Amino acid sequence: MKKVLPILLKLAVTTVLLWMIFREHRFLETIVPHLASLQKHWAWTLAGLAAVGISNWFAALRWEVLLRGQEQAVSGSEVLRVTLVSNFFNITSLGVVGGDAYRVLAMMRQPGARRLPVMVSVMLDHLLGMLGLGLLFLTCRLMLADRLETFTPEVRAILKGFEMFMGGSIIFVILSAISFTPRLYNWGEKQWPWMLGYAPLKNFATACDALRRDWRGSIYSTVLSVLIFGFHFLSFYCAVFAVGGSVPVMDLVTAMPIVDTVSGLPISVSGLGVREKTFETLMLGLAGLPGATAVSASLVGWLMGVVWGLLGGLLFLKGGDARLLAPASAPEPLATDT
pLDDT tens per residue, range 172-205: 999 988 888 888 888 888 888 888 888 888 888 8
pLDDT for res 278: 95
Q: pTM of whole model > 0.85?
A: yes
Extents of the domains making up the chain: 45-321
The per-residue DSSP string of 15-26 comes to: HHHHHHHHHHTT
Q: Within 10 A of 134 (CB to CB), how many other CB atoms are there?
A: 25
Say which residue, 330 or 193, is predicted with more confidence: 193
Residue 300 has pLDDT above 90, yes or no: yes
CA angle 177/90/32 to nearest 5° reads: 130
Contact 86, 102 (CB under 8 A): yes
Contact 50, 324 (CB under 8 A): no
DSSP 8-state assignment for residue 72? -
Residue 330 has pLDDT above 60, yes or no: no
How far is 241 from 44, CA to CA, in rounded Å? 6
pLDDT for res 4: 74
**Portion of the chain with pLDDT greater than 90, in percent:** 64
pLDDT for res 9: 85
Query: Measuring CA to CA, which residue among 70, 105, 67 is closest to residue 85?
Result: 105
Contact 273, 13 (CB under 8 A): yes
Residues 6+ apart with CB under 8 A from 182: 206, 209
Q: Within 10 A of 36 (CB to CB), how many other CB atoms are there?
A: 12
Query: Measuring CA to CA, which residue among 267, 217, 257, 269 is closest to residue 130?
Result: 257
The per-residue DSSP string of 253-265 comes to: HHHHHHHHHHHTS
**Portion of the chain with pLDDT greater than 70, in percent:** 92
pLDDT for res 80: 95
Q: Average pLDDT, stretch 129-145? A: 94
pLDDT for res 262: 93
Write the CA distances from 338 to 37, 100, 120, 174, 217, integer angstroms: 55, 21, 12, 24, 21
Residue 331 has pLDDT above 60, yes or no: no
pLDDT for res 329: 39
Residue 119 has pLDDT above 90, yes or no: yes
Element spanning 1, H or E: none
The per-residue pLDDT of the chain, averaged, comes to 89
Residue 259 has pLDDT above 60, yes or no: yes
326: region left, alpha or beta (phi > 0 left; psi from -120 to 50 alpha): beta
pLDDT tens per residue, range 260-279: 999 988 888 888 999 999 99
pLDDT for res 179: 86
Q: Average pLDDT, stretch 10-19? A: 91
84-122 core/surface letters (b: 16 or more CB in 10 A; e: else): bbbbbbbbbbeeeeebbbbbbbbbeebeebbbbbbbbbb
CA angle 55/60/65 to nearest 5° reads: 125
pLDDT tens per residue, range 32-66: 999 999 989 999 999 999 999 999 999 999 999 99
DSSP 8-state assignment for residue 152? -
How far is 18 from 27, CA to CA, in rounded Å? 10
Q: Average pLDDT, stretch 267-292? A: 92
Q: Between helices 153-179 and 115-143, what is the axis angle to 10°?
A: 140
pLDDT for res 335: 41
Lowest mean per-residue pLDDT among 65-69, 73-77, 246-250 = 73-77
pLDDT for res 198: 83
Exposed/middle/buried for residue 149 (C-beta within 10 Å: 0-12, 13-18, 19+): exposed
